[in-house]
Structure formats: structure tokens, C-alpha cells
Structure 1
Amino acid sequence: MSQDTPCIAVCIIDPKTKLCFGCGRTLPEIARWGRMPRDERLALMERLAARMHDAGLPAMTRTRG
């Protein structure tokens, strides 16, 4: 997977927060991801860990296969 994505292939949306358990993005953000300018994607990626923490969701990491 590209380094320009926070996706770790754990694509489950938390019903309470509406955030993906794997990456912390919302469904609209995931849907728009490929059309976002790179600088917007990178800025959002910088905020995801704090967003997950604030929502009380555990930070997950990409595993190497």
C-alpha cells in the first residue's frame, strides 16, 4: 500500500464515532481519498492518531505480511 494512505486493511466503521477502526477516517473521507490533493491527504493523516485517541479508539498499526 502507498505511504500516502493510512489504510491498514482493517476496514470496520465504529457505529458510535463513525470512524474506521483501522485508520480513523470517516466514510466520506475514505470515499474522497483518491480525489484529494496530496497535501490535504497528508494533513489529514497527521490528525488521525489524535482523532482516534480523542474518540477512545485504540491506535492500530499496519502489520507486515
Structure 2
Amino acid sequence: MNNDVPSPCTGVCTMDLDNQYCLGCYRTRHEIGGWALMGNKEKIAVIKELRGRRREAEKG
């Protein structure tokens, strides 16, 4: 277990029920729940995915 990559949590913990991700950090429930157990490579992969989700959400 490696905790070098910080959580992307923004403290805005509200789930978008249509898209199934948090409106603050854009992680899914599975990603939020598993964050502490992920290695750095997995965390970085999730963060890259979050960037795409955020871009799509901002397009609206």
C-alpha cells in the first residue's frame, strides 16, 4: 500500500446519480472506496480518468 499520491477529494462530496461519480472530485464510489488500497500507478491512472470526466462535465 502506497500513499504518496494525495487524494483528489475536494470536500464537495455529492454524487451525480446520472453519471455515478462525485461532483467534487469526479471519482466513482468504487474509486473513492478503494483509494487507500491503490498503488501510485493505479491512483495516477484514476486521476487521468478524472480529468476527462471533468472536461466532459464542463462541456455540459
How does the TM-score come out when normalised to structure 2?
0.78
Q: How far is the alpha carbon of 1:43 from its aligned partner?
A: 1.6
Residue 12 of structure 1 pairs with residue 45 of structure 2: no
Greater fraction of residues in strand: 2
**Identity value in percent:** 32
Gaps of 5+ in 2: none
Q: Distance in 2 between matches of 1:45 and 1:30?
A: 12
Q: Distance in 1 between matches of 2:38 and 2:5?
A: 15
Residue 39 of structure 1 pairs with residue 13 of structure 2: no
1:5–1:45 Cα contact (<8 Å) kept: no
What RMSD, in angstroms, separates the aligned Cα atoms of the two structures?
Answer: 2.0
Q: How many residues align?
A: 56
Q: How far is the alpha carbon of 1:19 from its aligned partner?
A: 0.7
Q: Deviations over 1:5-61 (max 9, x none)?
A: 11011110001101100000000110000001111101211221211222x258xxx
Q: Distance in 1 between matches of 2:26 and 2:55?
A: 9
